[in-house]
């Protein structure tokens, strides 16, 4: 009793001498400061002893009278309040402590900021404490994403998406919300992955979260389901740019682009309404898949005018080469492939594509050997491709082609009749025009 009396006297004396700028921590009035200081020692001592139920009352007084005392009182709050929930005698009493915990998170935001992070913490706590609070949990997570998506870590992003699915399954929204929020969650996780790409341990952890999101999304992700959901929206509002962007992005992520008329129509509308290098690129690849080579070339050339990302320019040149090759314009195809090789000097694919073009055009080569000399040039390009990209995976793709194309080399007798001798130099005629070495079988 004497000790408590001493603490109270000391508190009053201290409060009287507090400078004005101390009010932010010790309360806004002298009475608040007295109440705060009187309870700090009790709160800290009980917490140190892990006597959390005894800690509750002085902690509550600090929260009431000096809510700016420190972030620690909010960090410890969940432990203290959960200890009270554990001894609650009735459901009503337990719910009262849960409500108190939710208010505490709101106070933490009010006095210490970090709104997005704290809202996500609040949503996570509520989801574990009240299994039926599906609607409220989702709305808190959605608000956290709205105010600061980039401030949330991978755990909260994953929980946000799971809350989305629970919200839809409970009947509060249609499945379109799952698709829209998958787009948000997957983009955020990919950004986090990019940020930790140099740390293999962290990167593996993030990939695990990405896999979890994919697993949750999987039941809603079939191309048939996406088409069914988006077909109605497209027919109702085919010129809604925001909707067109979302649906085409999701369809691309899930690989629902090949032979998909809805995706083609949506991308075409988007390109007309808001043309960009990205939409021109998409239109080019789709026209290529439909063997509409002329249109593909127009779109891809248009895209290349403004594409700046290395990987995008590389892909555009490869697709442009394929489009030219598809219509038999092999010289233009070679130029496109070599441009791709210039953009990314680590890739062997451009030289492999060029080898395929040589082989495809062999019958048009007038060399007296049925165009078989084209395969010398093709094998040269394939071997060069292996040097540029010396990986086992790439070699596994190239080696069978080298073996196959070598089987098309001219026979020794046929070459001899044209004074072609193994090991001598030779320039392949026609559009190929490449200097090579004579090889026979």
pLDDT at 13 (0 to 100)? 46
Buried b (16+ CB within 10 A) or exposed e, 262-283: bbbebbbbbbeeeeebbbbbbb
State how far the Cα of 77 lies from the Cα of 71, in Å rounded to an integer: 10
CB-neighbour burial class of residue 156 (10 A; exposed 0-12, middle 13-18, buried 19+): buried
pLDDT at 317 (0 to 100)? 98
Kindly report the backbone phi and psi dihedral angles of residue 396, in degrees, each rounded to the nearest multiple of 5, phi listed first: -65, -25
State how far the Cα of 151 lies from the Cα of 188, in Å rounded to an integer: 10
State how far the Cα of 434 lies from the Cα of 418, in Å rounded to an integer: 18
The residue ranking higher by pLDDT, 379 or 3, is: 379
Helix (H, G, I), strand (E, B) or coil at 220: helix
Position 265 pLDDT exceeds 50: yes
pLDDT at 417 (0 to 100)? 93
By the 8 A CB rule, do 409 and 378 touch? no
Look-up: residue for tokens 């999101």? 213
Helix (H, G, I), strand (E, B) or coil at 425: strand
pLDDT at 253 (0 to 100)? 79
Position 9 pLDDT exceeds 50: no
Instruction: Convert the pLDDT of each residue in 312-329 to its tens digit.
Output: 999 999 999 999 999 999
Instruction: Convert the pLDDT of each residue in 29-74 to its tens digit.
Output: 778 788 888 888 899 989 999 999 999 999 999 998 889 999 999 9
State how far the Cα of 384 lies from the Cα of 387, in Å rounded to an integer: 5
Strand partners, 436: 426
- Which of the 8 DSSP states describes residue 390? -
Position 351 pLDDT exceeds 90: yes
Using pLDDT thresholds of 50, 70 and 90, give the confidence band for residue 24.
Answer: low
- Which of the 8 DSSP states describes residue 435? E
Position 2 pLDDT exceeds 50: no
By the 8 A CB rule, do 434 and 380 touch? yes
- Bridge-based pairing state of the strands 435-437 and 425-427: antiparallel
Q: Cite the beta strand spans of 214-255 per DSSP E.
A: none
Kindly report the backbone phi and psi dihedral angles of residue 425, in degrees, each rounded to the nearest multiple of 5, phi listed first: -75, 155
pLDDT at 252 (0 to 100)? 83
pLDDT at 20 (0 to 100)? 46
pLDDT at 192 (0 to 100)? 92
Alpha helices in 18-133 (DSSP H): 23-26, 30-48, 52-65, 72-87, 91-112, 115-129
Longest dimension (CA), the chain: 120
- 161 Cβ neighbours under 8 A, 6+ residues apart: 181, 182, 185, 213, 216, 217
pLDDT at 260 (0 to 100)? 87
- 425 Cβ neighbours under 8 A, 6+ residues apart: 435, 436, 437, 438
Question: Nearest CA to 111 among 142, 59, 144, 73?
Answer: 73
- 325 Cβ neighbours under 8 A, 6+ residues apart: 333, 353, 356, 357, 360
Question: Alpha-carbon dihedral of residues 67, 69, 70, 74, nearest 10 degrees?
Answer: -40
What Å distances lie between residue 403 and 382, 395, 398, CA to CA? 10, 12, 9
Tokens of 101: 């915990």
What is the pTM (predicted TM-score) of this model? 0.61
């Amino acid at each position: 009793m004497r000790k408590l009396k001493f603490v109270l006297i000391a508190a009053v004396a201290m409060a009287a001498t507090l400078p004005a700028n101390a009010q932010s921590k010790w309360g806004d009035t002298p009475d608040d400061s007295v109440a705060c200081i009187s309870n700090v020692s009790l709160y800290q001592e009980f917490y140190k002893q892990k006597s959390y139920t005894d800690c509750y009352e002085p902690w509550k007084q600090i929260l009431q009278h000096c809510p700016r005392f420190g972030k620690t009182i909010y960090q410890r709050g969940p432990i203290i309040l959960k200890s009270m929930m554990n001894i609650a005698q009735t459901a009503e009493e337990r719910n009262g402590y849960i409500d108190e915990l939710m208010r505490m998170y709101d106070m933490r935001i009010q006095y210490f900021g970090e709104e997005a992070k704290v809202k996500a913490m609040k949503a996570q706590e509520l989801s574990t404490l009240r299994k039926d609070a599906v609607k409220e949990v989702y709305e808190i997570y959605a608000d956290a994403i709205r105010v600061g998506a980039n401030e949330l870590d991978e755990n909260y992003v994953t929980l946000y998406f799971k809350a989305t699915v629970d919200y839809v399954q409970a009947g509060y929204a249609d499945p379109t919300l799952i698709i829209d929020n998958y787009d948000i969650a997957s983009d955020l996780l990919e950004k986090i992955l990019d940020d930790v790409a140099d740390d293999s341990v962290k990167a593996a952890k993030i990939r695990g979260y990405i896999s979890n999101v994919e697993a949750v999304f999987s039941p809603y992700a079939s191309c048939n389901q996406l088409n069914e959901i988006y077909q109605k929206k497209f027919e109702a509002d085919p010129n809604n740019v925001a909707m067109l962007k979302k649906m085409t992005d999701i369809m691309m992520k899930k690989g629902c682009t090949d032979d998909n008329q809805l995706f083609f129509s949506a991308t075409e509308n988007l390109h007309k309404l808001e043309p960009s290098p990205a939409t021109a690129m998409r239109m080019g690849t789709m026209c290529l898949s439909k063997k509409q080579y002329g249109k593909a070339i127009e779109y891809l050339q248009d895209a290349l005018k403004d594409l700046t990302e290395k990987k995008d320019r590389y892909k555009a040149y490869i697709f442009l080469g394929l489009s030219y090759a598809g219509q038999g314009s092999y010289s233009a195809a070679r130029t496109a492939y070599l441009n791709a090789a210039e953009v990314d000097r680590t890739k062997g694919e451009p030289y492999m594509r060029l080898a395929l073009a040589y082989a495809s055009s062999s019958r048009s080569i007038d060399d007296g050997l049925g165009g078989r000399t084209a395969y010398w040039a093709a094998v040269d390009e394939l071997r060069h491709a292996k040097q540029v990209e010396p990986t086992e995976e790439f070699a596994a793709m190239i080696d069978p082609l080298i073996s196959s194309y070598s089987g098309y080399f001219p026979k020794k007798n046929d070459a001899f009749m044209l004074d072609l001798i193994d090991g001598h130099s030779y320039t392949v005629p026609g559009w190929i025009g490449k200097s090579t070495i004579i090889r026979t079988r």
